[in-house]
Chain A
Amino acid sequence: MTNVVNEDYDVVVVGSGGGGGMAAYRLTALGVKVCLVEQGPNQAPEDIPMFQRNDEAPLRAIGTPDKNWGYFDNGICGTWLPDQPYTSDEGVDFTWYRAQVVGGRTNHYARHSPRMGPYDFIQGDLDGLSPNWPVTYDEMKPYYDATEAVVGISGVNTGMYNHPGTPEDILQPAIAPRAYELLMMASARKVGVPAFQRHNAILTRNLGDRLACFYATPCMRGCSIGAAFSSSTSLIPLADKTGKLTIVTRAKVCTVETGADGKATGVTFVDTQTGVEGRIKARSVVLAASACATAQILLTSGKAGSKDGLANNSGQVGRNLTDTPAVRVTGKFASLENRPRYDEFGANMDHIYMPWWGYEAQKKGVMDFPRGYHIEVGQGFRDAPELNAMQQYSDRNGLVFGEGLRDEIRRHWGSFVYLDGRGEMVANEKSYCALDSEMKNKWGYPVLRFSFEWSDYEYNQIEHMQETFSAIIERAGGEVVSGLGASKDEISKPGGMVHEVGTTRMGTDPDATVCNPYGQCWDVDNLYVMDGGVLPTNPHKNPTLHIMALAYRNSENLAERLRNGEI
């Protein structure tokens, strides 16, 4: 690890994912001297195992306690990290997936990149169940444009209400739908559900030093050519070129330090390999450690004996925690058995989706849930065979063996298609994270404790998804084989979609929010939050793009205040 203790920076950015990477990119471009701190290691592009087959790994690359999401999942990552445990309330099974590697969770995300629309910013006016954002779509539009220009987005614009498009000079060509995606598009459209090629943060044309996708390797392992966007390949190298960036890896930030005037003076960290503590000084601090980890740092940063933490006069740090409610309904299609084979892998991620279409119905009050969802489509024979998945194809006629089993597996391979619902949760009082009063991690700092409950808004939405997905599958000639149980049983685990946001909300009221409309903490003038913590709501439109667009915008605010001497 670089010795950084005695060096002064303009900004120390904590976390190198979408928010932190974008902050580093934008701040350095504006001439600001940045120290980017990442608790995981760097994984150089040449060290990414892009082409290895599952049988070129121990245990056919399945998930283990060491690598929860599979052997090749990029970096030190998982819901279970031995050095950094967390707890949940009794009866709560919160899964907190963390990715400790340069680029953070942008190495792992689905690259789905829908914009929020005007409607999403003003839910406070529309249904009153959560606050308006302190910024409108019109104000954010230039920052979406700028963010998408550097991220690289392929897809088509839907032209639909509340689903804003990307300017044609930025948007790259969409990717051809797979066979089963065509079937689902046609069926959805027939039953009144819109279906389009989706916006992916995957290049179909070269962009700067990054190359277009060659359609052959899993995005979740990382992408050494930068076709699949990640902060590590697509933002941090650009920041590095400015000469203004220092990267410190394997350093877990524990607290934000403050001076006698209450302003942040830097951060403390532990070297995760040696346990040695260190300190980085800076004129300002940006927390982008991911929503819950940022809340943890703030709550841990209080004066000795104070339970309330730093920047928490509102008492809202850790509150308003939301994730994406989700359900999977799987269809079996006799018409797809033994279908003609072809290379169905494509760009690995989904090429199509069904955007939310029920705004008018919701306004009329004919639905029993307030917020929208979208539908994702998967399976077929897109992915290479996986050890855990093969039983699905082999058990259709009981546990047969011997002659005939090969034919059965071959026949069913590629004949399942699932629809995944991705909804919007309304924040509630019972869902939050706080410091555990007893457990500490190996370095002596308190761990997080999660409280979480879905409400009827989410359960009702899940039921609507189940009905809709059944209709789409059946209209396409399929038979639903799983996913139609009671919504309370079928809904995803809290945290399971890795879309936890809201724990340091931004807003216009210092008594009710943690951050001002620029992500600056109300209580600490030179402390910003630039991860999903600031999102006042959690629309079903995957959060990464919004986190990055806000970080782009709010970094300009920080840079300007640094320049004009306010900080």
Chain B
Amino acid sequence: MAAALSVVGGCAPKSIKTAAVDGIAPWPSNIAVPEVDHAGYGQFPDYFEIGEVGPWPKILSDQHKRQLEKFADLILPATETAPAPSDVGIAEFFDDWVSAPYPWMTDTRRTVHHGFAWLDAQAELMFKTKWLDLSDAQATEILTMMSESSRESGPLTQPAWMYKNLRELTIGAYYTTPEGEVDLGHVAAQPLTGDYPGPTGEALDHMRDLILSLDLEWEDLPVGPPPYDTSYAFTGDEPK
């Protein structure tokens, strides 16, 4: 069975560098973060009652949601065929996430509250305006700086971790929506009658060509639905 507990994006840096560096706003770690101490959905939730978000109160302000949407839409901009994260409920996802009363949401909750204040301060420093008022080119400049900075040391450890954490959550949340699956080209499982066919058409041709190009045997593989050729045998394992 697969392990299932993991923390998305690892843990935020514990040491907080606030020393003044030219051109970089200090990380505002003094901003209050709401306490979350509600119950979770419990060990035996009513799956048909609870739905898409947890039963806990949501803590994000509308401004936080707009700030997160701007961030997420820069990570995965809309294309002609795929909607932006803000059009598939990314703000509601983040609100659910940072409001959840489980330990591994704590870092992201703090990061959202400190991080968007930092982004506003950084935007002010660089462009004399707030994060939400930046042009895409200006915002991209800040995101690029965050994405290229070290999460281990230097003046941008906290912004770099914020970037990695929110980027991963954006990607994970986006591609788990129906619209994200379409963009990924994922073919979701559909109930079938009769036998599962395995790969067909182009997928089958691709695999046969690949296997043959690697000088591997194709003919004795069990391809497609039953019945199967049983010509392949393995011998030589019996102890003498």
Cβ–Cβ contact B198 & A360, under 8 A: no
Candidates B3, B42, B74, B193; contact of A496 at CB < 8 Å: B3
A176-B198 contact in complex given A60-B93, A402-B74, A402-B140, C-beta closer than 8 Å: yes
Interface centre among B5, B54, B100, B196, by most chain A C-beta atoms within 10 angstroms, is B196
Q: Mark B166-205, 1 if CB is under 8 A from A, else 0.
A: 0111011101111011011111111111011111111111
Q: Mark A387-418, 1 if CB is under 8 A from B, else 0.
A: 11111001000111111011001100100000
Cβ–Cβ contact B186 & A401, under 8 A: no
CA A394 – CA B184 in complex, angstroms?
A: 12
A214-B193 contact in complex given A401-B167, A403-B77, C-beta closer than 8 Å: yes
In the bound complex, residues from chain A placing their C-beta under 8 Å from that of B202 are 340, 342
In the bound complex, residues from chain B placing their C-beta under 8 Å from that of A363 are 239-240
Cβ–Cβ contact B172 & A391, under 8 A: yes
B6: nearest residue on chain A (CB-CB)? A388
Interface of chain A, helix or strand or loop or mixed? loop
CA A72 – CA B44 in complex, angstroms?
A: 10
Q: Mark B215-240, 1 if CB is under 8 A from A, else 0.
A: 01110111111111010111011111
Tell yes or no: B125 within 8 A of A by CB.
no
Q: Mark A273-317, 1 if CB is under 8 A from B, else 0.
A: 000000000000000000000000000000000000000000000
CA A446 – CA B180 in complex, angstroms?
A: 49
Cβ–Cβ contact B47 & A47, under 8 A: yes
Candidates A75, A185, A214, A364; contact of B221 at CB < 8 Å: A185
Cβ–Cβ contact B82 & A386, under 8 A: no
Candidates B5, B42, B140, B228; contact of A174 at CB < 8 Å: B228
Interface of chain B, helix or strand or loop or mixed? loop
Tell yes or no: B52 within 8 A of A by CB.
yes
A342-B237 contact in complex given A81-B43, A214-B191, A475-B214, C-beta closer than 8 Å: no
In the bound complex, residues from chain B placing their C-beta under 8 Å from that of A194 are 234, 237
Candidates B96, B168, B184, B207; contact of A183 at CB < 8 Å: B207
CA A461 – CA B4 in complex, angstroms?
A: 25
Cβ–Cβ contact A41 & B96, under 8 A: no
In the bound complex, residues from chain A placing their C-beta under 8 Å from that of B176 are 53-55, 60, 384-387, 390
Tell yes or no: B8 within 8 A of A by CB.
yes
Interface centre among A217, A360, A401, by most chain B C-beta atoms within 10 angstroms, is A401
Tell yes or no: B41 within 8 A of A by CB.
yes
Tell yes or no: A470 within 8 A of B by CB.
no
Interface centre among B5, B52, B178, B218, by most chain A C-beta atoms within 10 angstroms, is B5
A563 to chain B, nearest CB (A): 39
A387-B52 contact in complex given A52-B47, A60-B93, C-beta closer than 8 Å: no
Candidates B50, B164, B193, B207; contact of A58 at CB < 8 Å: B50
Within residues 302 to 360 of chain A, which ones have a CB less than 8 A from any CB in chain B? 335, 339-347, 356-360
In the bound complex, residues from chain B placing their C-beta under 8 Å from that of A213 are 196
Candidates B45, B51, B189, B193; contact of A343 at CB < 8 Å: B189
Tell yes or no: A76 within 8 A of B by CB.
yes
Cβ–Cβ contact A406 & B82, under 8 A: yes
Q: Mark A60-73, 1 if CB is under 8 A from B, else 0.
A: 10111111111111
Cβ–Cβ contact A477 & B214, under 8 A: yes
Cβ–Cβ contact A340 & B206, under 8 A: yes
A409-B171 contact in complex given A58-B100, A176-B197, C-beta closer than 8 Å: yes
B120 to chain A, nearest CB (A): 20
Q: Mark A373-391, 1 if CB is under 8 A from B, else 0.
A: 0000000010011111111
Cβ–Cβ contact A387 & B54, under 8 A: no
Interface centre among A97, A356, A403, A409, by most chain B C-beta atoms within 10 angstroms, is A409
Within residues 397 to 447 of chain A, which ones have a CB less than 8 A from any CB in chain B? 398-403, 405-406, 409-410, 413
Tell yes or no: A189 within 8 A of B by CB.
yes
CA A47 – CA B44 in complex, angstroms?
A: 11
CA A384 – CA B75 in complex, angstroms?
A: 22
In the bound complex, residues from chain B placing their C-beta under 8 Å from that of A468 are none
Tell yes or no: B106 within 8 A of A by CB.
no
Tell yes or no: A110 within 8 A of B by CB.
yes
CA A183 – CA B218 in complex, angstroms?
A: 9
A430 to chain B, nearest CB (A): 24
Tell yes or no: B116 within 8 A of A by CB.
no
In the bound complex, residues from chain B placing their C-beta under 8 Å from that of A343 are 187-190
A69: nearest residue on chain B (CB-CB)? B4
Cβ–Cβ contact B198 & A178, under 8 A: yes
Candidates A79, A97, A189, A335; contact of B210 at CB < 8 Å: A335
Cβ–Cβ contact B50 & A69, under 8 A: no
Tell yes or no: A56 within 8 A of B by CB.
yes
Cβ–Cβ contact B79 & A406, under 8 A: yes
CA A254 – CA B217 in complex, angstroms?
A: 57
Cβ–Cβ contact B54 & A59, under 8 A: yes
Cβ–Cβ contact A385 & B221, under 8 A: no
A64-B40 contact in complex given A109-B1, A173-B226, A335-B210, C-beta closer than 8 Å: yes
CA A108 – CA B1 in complex, angstroms?
A: 8
CA A19 – CA B171 in complex, angstroms?
A: 42
A271 to chain B, nearest CB (A): 15
A405-B76 contact in complex given A156-B228, A362-B239, C-beta closer than 8 Å: yes
In the bound complex, residues from chain B placing their C-beta under 8 Å from that of A207 are none
Cβ–Cβ contact B214 & A187, under 8 A: yes
A401-B216 contact in complex given A216-B192, A343-B189, A387-B172, C-beta closer than 8 Å: no
Tell yes or no: B29 within 8 A of A by CB.
no
Within residues 88 to 112 of chain A, which ones have a CB less than 8 A from any CB in chain B? 97, 108-110
Tell yes or no: B163 within 8 A of A by CB.
yes
Within residues 1 to 30 of chain B, which ones have a CB less than 8 A from any CB in chain A? 1, 3-6, 8-9
A390-B195 contact in complex given A67-B43, A68-B5, C-beta closer than 8 Å: no
In the bound complex, residues from chain A placing their C-beta under 8 Å from that of B173 are 55, 60, 387
CA A156 – CA B222 in complex, angstroms?
A: 10
In the bound complex, residues from chain A placing their C-beta under 8 Å from that of B74 are 401-402
In the bound complex, residues from chain A placing their C-beta under 8 Å from that of B54 are 58-59
A205: nearest residue on chain B (CB-CB)? B195
In the bound complex, residues from chain A placing their C-beta under 8 Å from that of B236 are 360
User: What are 6 of the A-B contact pairs (CB < 8 Å)?
Assistant: A160-B234, A174-B222, A178-B199, A343-B187, A381-B186, A388-B8
Interface residue ranges, B against A (CB under 8 Å): 1, 3-6, 8-9, 40-45, 47-48, 50-55, 74-77, 79, 82, 93, 96-97, 100, 102-103, 140, 143, 147, 163-164, 167-169, 171-173, 175-178, 180-181, 183-193, 195-207, 210-211, 214, 216-218, 220-228, 230, 232-234, 236-240
Other A-B contacts than A67-B41, A339-B206, A363-B240, 19 sampled, CB-CB below 8 A, are A47-B47, A59-B96, A60-B172, A65-B103, A160-B234, A161-B239, A173-B226, A177-B223, A190-B217, A357-B234, A360-B240, A364-B239, A388-B8, A390-B172, A391-B9, A391-B171, A398-B147, A401-B75, A401-B147
3 A-B pairs with the lowest CB-CB distances in the bound complex, closest first:
A176-B198, A345-B189, A387-B172
